[in-house]
Amino acid sequence: MRSASTDGPLRCSAQIVGRVEFRAGEGPLFEIGVRAVVIATTWADAPFIWSDGEGHDAAATPLSSLSRCIVQGCVVLGS
């Protein structure tokens, strides 16, 4: 486990395989469909970044919600 530092966010690849809701900025919740994403975790939240073929998009969820999604098998982390 890495301790808190100013090195920047931790990044890992992941695959969304189930129903997961996220917040884009401060807007309403929306669902990200099945896709590959990059997760860049901070001390408070987990921004998800993905490409839709025409550009990049992002949404974020609190770390507690990310943990719940992993336990429920909706998000599978890559190596």
Residue 4, domain member (yes or no): no
* Predicted pLDDT of residue 1: 40
Length of the chain as a residue count = 79
Residue 51, domain member (yes or no): yes
Q: Is 5 exposed, middle or buried (0-12, 13-18, 19+ CB in 10 A)?
A: exposed
Residue 35, domain member (yes or no): yes
How far is it, in rounded angstroms, from Cα 41 to Cα 47?
6
Residue 60, domain member (yes or no): yes
H helix and E strand count, the chain:
1, 7
- 42-57 pLDDT, tens digit each: 888 888 888 877 778 8
Q: Report the domain count for the chain.
A: 1
Full residue range of the structural domain in which residue 71 is found: 10-77
Residue 5, domain member (yes or no): no
Residue 1, domain member (yes or no): no
pTM of the predicted protein model:
0.72
